[in-house]
Amino acid sequence: MGHPEHRETFTLHSREYQLPKQPTVVVCIDGFDPEYLQSGLDRGILPTFASFLKNGFHATGKSCMPSFTNPNNVSIITGAPPSIHGIAGNFFLDRSTGKETMICDDSLLRGSTLLEQMSRRGVRVAAITAKDKLRKILAHGLNGDAVCFSAEKAAECTLAENGIVDVEQWLGRPAPSQYSADLSLFVLDAGIKLLQEDKSDFLYLTLSDYVQHKHGPGSPEADDFMKAIDDRLAKLEVMAIIGVTSDHGMSRKANDAGEPNVLFLEDVLNAKFGENAARVICPITDPFVRHHGALGSFVRVYLRDQNLLESVLAFCQALSETAVALSGEDAARKYDMPLDREGDIVVISTSSTVIGSCESEHDLSTVKDFPLRSHGGLSEQAVPVIMSRAVKDVEAASSRKWKNYDIFDLVLDWSK
């Protein structure tokens, strides 16, 4: 291990952590709804997961809101909710400029991360992500010897930027397509090789939800993907303590005919309250839109006239596709999101529905090969929280209400 023998502690966002006493890996399986786990366990196709549940620890926890990739990955690496770290979506409207902006670096991140703090203390850190949109956030504050790259851009790695070069040659295979299950397996294979070569002590491996957006639990495609992950977890477990969680779950958002259940909220609001009365921002939007069409279960509404707030809010609450509609202030308070980056109104859809902005802004042709599955709402908050080792205090662990961002606390401070 690349750190002092005594277990130094440090505090981050009011939580105390210890340096790892052994190689430590946290895997975020993007879109890992608990149904995928249960389905595989019931049919005996996930022996490594079964071993973790028998000999280690398992709970069904909750993700942060909105249940999207960026907010929850950042929560996991900071051990804090979005109200603290400031990242509340993949995509947002900058009120100061009026521009819609993709979050693709750490410029909006508030405070430090566990990865940064470990790196500062001499722990050899590796952070590998499927999608490059996360990579610059994961790299925040890392020392020059840390490894941080994405499977998406594996062919472009440099020592200065990523702490590693020639990744494809090193791993013995080319970087996979962005739209493939193999993009996630590439991440896990890289983590395995770093441990085998004793190059990292503290790893965060975060995957893609391409499979889960298209294939439900128990489908052949989902089974193949989960079995491949299970096989790789077995290799990791030999070398390290493992924590597994997810950034969000996943729900079917299509009708019996397989067509997406979509509420185009901006179109509806402007038809009701006048042209350009409202702008709807879909925080799920990212460069990987082909598998979800930028359609999720959580949107932010920005009003041209604040005098319309109460009437627009009441209208949103009455829509059949709506599970919850709140003022931005109330939503930030209730769901632990940063108020200064919130919309005027937050609308969260029912479990079987997604919300878009204008129909003209969403390409539904990309999501018609399989019935749409997506996330973002309250119905996609349930996520597994798993550790490969047993906990020291079973009673306390069993009674705790776990969040996905407790996973590093779990593997560092709760294991026997």
Q: Please give the Cα distance from 240 to 261 (Å, whole number).
A: 43
CA distance 203 to 145: 13
Is residue 164 a part of any domain in this protein? yes
- What pLDDT score does 180 carry? 93
CATH number where 322 lies: 3.30.1360.110
Q: What is the pLDDT of residues 194-211, one digit of tens each?
A: 999 999 999 999 999 999
Please write the tens of the pLDDT for every residue from 49-108.
999 999 999 999 999 999 999 999 999 999 999 999 999 987 777 777 877 777 878 988
Residues 273 and 202 in one domain: no
Q: Are residues 195 and 130 part of one domain?
A: yes
| Per-residue pLDDT, 96 | 77
Q: Annotate 119-149 with three-state secondary structure.
A: HHCCCCEEEEECCHHHHHHHCCCCCCCCEEE
Is residue 368's pLDDT more than 90?
A: no
Do residues 228 and 277 both lie within one domain? Answer: no
Whether 4 maps to a domain, the answer reads no
Cα 97 to Cα 92, 261, 338, distances in angstroms:
11, 33, 18
Sheet holding 24-28, edge to edge: 57-62, 382-387, 241-245, 24-28, 202-206, 125-129, 147-150
Decide if pLDDT at 17 tops 70.
yes
- Residues 215 and 254: their CA atoms lie apart, in Å, by 12
In a domain, 255, yes or no: no
Residues in the chain: 416
Encode 179-237 in three state secondary structure: CCCHHHHHHHHHHHHHHHCCCCCEEEEECCCHHHHHCCCCCHHHHHHHHHHHHHHHHHH
- Does the structure show a pLDDT above 80 at 253? yes
pLDDT in tens, 373-410: 999 999 999 999 999 999 999 999 999 999 999 999 99
What pLDDT was estimated at residue 120? 95
Please tell me whether residues 166 and 282 are part of one structural domain.
Answer: no
Average pLDDT over residues 155-169: 96
Residue 111 inside a domain? The answer is: yes
- 101 and 224 share a domain? yes
* CATH code at position 130: 3.40.720.10
Question: What pLDDT score does 284 carry?
Answer: 83
Q: Pick the closest to residue 230 from 44, 54, 49 (CA basis).
A: 49
In a domain? residue 107 = yes
**71, 201: one domain:** yes
Indicate the range of 127-136, 243-252, 325-334 predicted with least confidence.
127-136
Q: What is the pLDDT of residue 381?
A: 98
pLDDT at 257: 83
353 and 398 belong to one structural domain: no
Any idea what DSSP says for residue 171? H
When pLDDT is cut at 50, 70 and 90, the band that residue 291 belongs to is very low
Q: What is the pLDDT of residue 293?
A: 58
**What are the tokens at 81?**
């909710």
DSSP 13-77: TTEEEE--SS-EEEEE-TT--HHHHHHHHHTT--HHHHHHHHHSEEEEEE--SS-SHHHHHHHHH
Q: How high is the mean pLDDT of the chain?
A: 93
User: Domain containing 347: what range?
Assistant: 262-374
Predicted local confidence at residue 290, as pLDDT: 40
**Residue 292 pLDDT:** 43
Q: Which of 388, 414, 412 is nearest to 400 (CA)?
A: 414
Query: In the prediction, which pLDDT does 3 show?
Result: 44
pLDDT at 2 (0 to 100): 45
pLDDT for res 367: 62
Burial class (CB in 10 A: 0-12, 13-18, 19+), 364: middle
Q: Is the pLDDT of residue 365 over 50?
A: yes
pLDDT score at 48: 98
Could you tell me if 307 and 364 lie in one domain? yes
Residues 281 and 365 in one domain: yes
- d(CA 83, CA 164) in angstroms, rounded, equals 33
DSSP class of residue 80? S
Taking Cα atoms as reference points, which of 167, 199, 228 lies closest to residue 27?
Answer: 228
Other C-beta atoms within 10 Å of 394: how many? 10
Q: Check if the beta carbon of residue 366 is closer than 8 Å to that of residue 290.
A: yes
Asked if 339 and 405 sit in the same domain, the reply is no
CA dist 150 and 7 (Å) reads 30
- Judge whether 1 lies within some domain: no
48 and 128 share a domain?
yes
Asked whether 159 and 182 are in contact (CB, 8 A), the reply is no
Report percent pLDDT > 90 for the chain. 82
Residue range 123-136: mean pLDDT, rounded: 94
Is residue 182 located within the same domain as residue 241? yes
| CA–CA separation, 86 and 185 (whole Å) | 30
Model confidence at 327, in pLDDT bands (50, 70, 90)? very high
Total domains in the chain come to 2
Look at residue 323 and tell me if it is in a domain. yes
pLDDT per residue over 222-246, tens digit each? Answer: 999 999 999 999 999 999 999 999 9
pLDDT at site 111: 96
pLDDT tens sequence across 269-288: 999 999 999 999 988 875 44
- Mean pLDDT computed over 127-150: 94
In a domain, 179, yes or no: yes
Report the pLDDT value the prediction gives residue 4, as an integer from 0 to 100.
43
Residue 294 confidence (pLDDT): 78
Note whether 162 and 190 are within 8 A (CB).
no
pLDDT at 5 over 50: no
